[in-house]
Structure 1
Amino acid sequence: MAQQVAEQAASSPAESVGGGRARRSIGSALPLALGGMLGAGLFVGIAPAALAAGPLLLLAVPLVLVAVACSALASAHQSASYRGPGAGYACIRARLGVLPARFGAATALAGQVAALAAIARVIAEHAMPAAPPVISSAIVLLVVLAATAGLRIRGAAAWVWLLLTLAVVGLVIAVCFAIEPPESPPMGAAQEDGAIGITGAAGVLFFGFLGFERLTAPAEERDRHRGVIVKWGVIASLVVTGVVVSLLAWALLHQLGPARLALSGQPLLDALDAAAGGRLRPMVGTAVGLALFPVLLGVLESLRSTALAVQRDQDLPAALGRESRAGTPYLLDLCAGVAAAAVALLVPPVPAMAFASCCLLVHHALANAAARVLLADDQVWRMRSACLGMGLAVILAMSMPVHAMLGTLVVVIAGPLLAGLVSRRWS
């Protein structure tokens, strides 16, 4: 699968630049994808994945890697054919029709709003453990206002935040393996350890691998890279994320055990406590909170990209496309921020994360289906990769918790109805 991603041919007008420019582009490409992937799913998502798969948690990582690689490949091809915001949505609309496109748009937007809320709750609960949920709502609104004012984390700043994330994870892994876990009786957590449990864990972990579309299908031309940069950037991002998730999951399983890990709301901090590293808890909690701020910005960028494409097709009110002096859609940002703030106020991070994963899996199932039609006259393996990605996304979505599937079903029904009312078109 990595070879498939490596051979994708999403090229851009920057093909003619020299080798020095290309090397600099690799350095700017990696944080785009990794900055989104190494987020709340890494810090919190391993616990609900352990609840699903138990001691077989690590088997879910290669499964989700294959699913993400297929989706990244499809996204790169869609971006090459449909430039501008919302390449995945645009491809679904062009290749599958209006109704599937509305399904895809609704699930993408709802999933990204839930992701904003989940990440904000993780920031608040780690950096300010005693803070009420309203603080997480305030965090979302402050980040959205900063993004609307034109804040973009790129270049050296992106690398600083990325290295902070890796340093925090490395510290926790080292502490977990340095201290032998205490003997503890079984805690009786309900866990699945069969195939359904593994696919359920992979569905939850899918949240921790999102962000690749910032590299494969950027909304703005200034973020677009040469095809060779995209392919190696995606490969490196998937490998790094897979290794980091695997090592952290192994360390947490070693220190906490499957049952205790499954019940943990803050697995990194609980592992530090179990390993007699409680004095590190405030520092690690603050570092986790800081590391997740660029992830919020990345999710908002992805939401903007899809929403602007939907608004361009008149399925969202035209007023949402109005731009501020910084060139950002301020009304769209405000609506997304208010919605995410409300979700953050009412929903804990794990259920919000599960709902976001389920919605985005449905979106990527449709995007892979559209890519399969797009690539019908291309090389056979590329078309089959899109088919595999579609099938895996459906399987993982169907393995999610019941509340996440029911919430996604509501979005799938309500989204096209609202789009039809706004556009006054039903086909």
Structure 2
Amino acid sequence: MLGAGVFVGVAPAAEIAGRWMVLAVPLAALTALCAAISTAHQSASYRGGGAGYSCVRDKLGNASGRAAAGTHLVGHVTAMAATTGAAAEYLPFPKALTTVAVLVFVALLFATGVRIRGLAGWLWLGLTLAVLAVVVTACLTIAPVAAETGSQHRPLAVTSAAGVLFFAFLGFERLTSPGTGERRLPARAVRRGLLLGTSVTAVVLLTVVFAVTRQLGAVRLGLSGVPLLDALRAADAAALVPAVGLGAGLVMVPVLLGALRSARSVGLAVVADGELPGVLGRRTGDGPCPLDGVLLAVAAVLALLLTPAVAMGVAACCLLVHYAFVNAAARVLLADEWTWSMRAACLGMGLSVILAMSMPVPVMGATAVVTVAMPVGGALLSRVRPATRPRRVPVE
């Protein structure tokens, strides 16, 4: 969660809504929490990777399942592009070289089975919070040079800013929907983890937003490509820029690993269902497969072609559409249970649609193409090759 969204996402959100983006943070957090609750219930019923996709396909039909799969895959690939681009912006090396080097490094880590968990995970989280603490401290202890003029006041753009900041809360499926062979936590631990993770991310994001907005102002913040580094320069703390930039680049590596694992999990489920060419899923045991290389290659191309802010917007919009389908399927799955989880699925479906429809028109256009392309492509492919496995049904 504490990756490119907090290091880059505050700038496009400020450009959209100005100082009103503080209201977008809790709205994005609530949307993410509803989606997380739905995926947790689906994972309990549809075991293995791609539980949300399998539930959508089972409850809403093949076309909806394909749309959910397509928006998930494209959303995570563009999320990888946004994160890679953000790391390249922060690291003090040539951007094109850094982009390729970061993805090659992630590919090697993934192929060798490296998993950042346990003590390594806590150390990486500590590094992230330390980097953010340095920036926040500098911004709050040093007075801004001059008062901002021409500030943006766009309260009606809060939903659009929330759509962008939704990106900062992605990653909860690593807890709610583990892949095949991964550890599944008890329901109580998942609920605690969701509440804690979402709350901490929201507090950290609000703190960073307040600090950098105080130092840069909403207008300058909206124009920044590396808002945390620009805030340090404005606070007369340029000496800290190299260290903070290096730390920010390093802490995005686990984000890329998580995004790749999530995309791979759903991608393999889609391949097994015959919706993508079977050659993509060929592998030996739990080792790498051609799908991993395709995902990384597409992410590299997008990272070179798109700015992190644009890639982040496309990723957020695609995944909002994906979770609209997921929440709708969870609503059907929980139809006989009038519980808070079912109400959360209804609320999450509505919020996901509202935030996605509030995104900039080019971003919505790209998402619409993705939403339509996968059902059409899957339908054509299903005519020439049968599915390699039966559709999964809920576990009783």
Q: How would you bin the TM-score normalised by the shorter chain?
A: over 0.9
For residues 100 and 64 of structure 2, what CA distance do their matches in structure 1 show? Answer: 32
Out of 32, 41, 51, the position equivalent to 1:77 is: 41
Shift, 1:57, TM fit: 1.3
CA contact (8 A) 1:121 1:133 kept: no
Q: Is the 8 A contact 1:57 1:198 kept in 2?
A: yes
Q: CA deviation at 1:392?
A: 0.2
Aligned pair in 2 of structure 1 residues 328, 423: CA closer, same or farther (>3 Å)? Answer: farther
CA displacement at 1:328 relative to structure 2 = 2.9
Match of residue 173, structure 1, among 136, 157, 164: 136
Matching residue of 2:394: none
Letter matched to residue 82 of structure 1: Y
For residues 152-203 of structure 1, what are the alpha-carbon distances to aligned partners after superposition, in whole Å with 9 as ceiling and x for unaligned? 11111111111100111111111100001011552x57x45122x1001100
Task: Establish whether residue 66 from structure 1 lines up as the match of residue 30 from structure 2.
Answer: yes
Q: Distance in 2 between matches of 1:192 and 1:201?
A: 13
Runs in 1 of length 4+ with deviation above 6 angstroms? none
**Alignment coverage as a number of residue pairs:** 386
Question: Alignment partner for residue 205 of structure 2, among 238, 245, 263?
Answer: 245
The Cα offsets for residues 110-157 of structure 1, whole Å up to 9 and x where unpaired, read as 0111011111111111012x5132431332233123202212111111
What's 1:26 paired with? none
Tell me which amino acid in the other structure corresponds to 2:63: L
TM-score when normalising by structure 1: 0.87
Q: Which runs of 5+ in 2 are unaligned?
A: 388-396
What residue in structure 2 maps to residue 351 of structure 1? 310
Contact in 2 for aligned 1:134/1:345 (Cα 8 Å): no
Paired AA for residue 122 in structure 2: W
Q: Give the distance between the partners of 2:327 and 2:166, measured in 1 at CA.
A: 15
Other-structure match for 1:93: 57
Q: Deviations over 1:329-350 (max 9, x none)?
A: 4211001011111111111111
> SS at the partner of 2:116?
coil
Q: Which moved more, 1:94-103 or 1:133-142?
A: 133-142
Distance 1:178 1:398 in 2: 39
How far 1:227 sits from its partner (Å)? 1.0
Q: Which residue of 1 aligns with 2:98?
A: 135
User: What SS class does the counterpart of residue 222 from structure 1 fall into?
Assistant: coil
Cα 1:107–1:192, aligned 2, differ >3 Å: closer, same or farther?
Answer: farther
Counterpart residue identity of residue 361, structure 2: V
Partner residue, 2:390: none
Matches within 5 A, 1:325-340: 327-340=286-299
Which of 193, 217, 220 is the matching residue for 2:154?
A: 193
Q: Is the 8 A contact 1:137 1:340 kept in 2?
A: no
CA contact (8 A) 1:51 1:192 kept: no
Distance 2:259 2:284 in 1: 20
Whole-angstrom CA distance in 2 between matches of 1:126 and 1:185: 25
Q: Distance in 2 between matches of 1:341 and 1:255?
A: 33
Q: Deviations over 1:94-118 (max 9, x none)?
A: 1000000111000110011101111
> For 1:220, which of 176, 180, 183 is the aligned residue?
180
Equivalent-residue separation in structure 2 for 1:163 and 1:142 (angstroms) = 22
Is the 2:174–2:258 contact (alpha carbons within 8 Å) kept by the matching residues of 1? yes
Matched, 1:421 2:375: no
- Residue 305 (1) aligns with residue 269 (2): no
Cα offset for 1:66?
Answer: 1.1
SS in structure 2 of the partner of residue 183 of structure 1: coil
What's the CA shift string for 1:352-402, capped at 9, x where partnerless? 000000000000000000000000001343222111000000000011112
Could you tell me how far apart the structure 1 residues matched to 2:83 and 2:159 are? 23
d(CA) in 1 for partners of 2:343, 2:182: 31
1:154 is the counterpart of 2:114: no
SS of structure 2 residue aligned to 1:379: coil
CA distance in 2, matches of 1:93, 1:388: 21
Q: Distance in 1 between matches of 2:67 and 2:378?
A: 10
Q: Which residue of 2 aligns with 1:22?
A: none
Q: Which amino acid in structure 2 is aligned with residue 86 of structure 1?
A: G
Amino acid at match of 1:219: G
Match of 1:183 among 119, 136, 146: 146
Distance 1:138 1:399 in 2: 35
How far does residue 319 in structure 1 lie from its aligned partner after superposition? 1.6
Q: How many Å separate the matches in 2 of 1:390 and 1:403? A: 22
Matched, 1:274 2:238: no
The CA distance in 1 between the partners of 2:182 and 2:15, in whole Å, is: 41
Tell me which residue corresponds to 1:293. Answer: 253
In structure 1, the partner of 2:216 is 256
Amino acid of the structure 2 residue aligned with 1:126? Y
8 Å contact 2:334–2:342 — kept in the other structure?
yes
Matching of residues 35-46 of structure 1 within 5 Å: 37-46=1-10
What is the rounded CA distance, in whole Å, between the counterparts of 1:142 and 1:424 in structure 2?
39
Distance 1:221 1:61 in 2: 34
Which residue of structure 1 lines up, in the alignment, with residue 126 of structure 2?
163
Q: Aligned Cα RMSD in Å?
A: 1.6
Amino acid at match of 2:324: A
Q: Look up the match of 1:30.
A: none
Q: 2:19–2:153: 8 Å Cα contact kept in structure 1? A: no
Give the Cα separation in 1 of the matches to 2:302 and 2:183. 30
Among candidates 354, 362, 374, match of residue 403 of structure 1: 362
Paired letter, 1:289: G
Asked whether the 8 Å contact 1:75–1:213 carries over to 2, the reply is yes
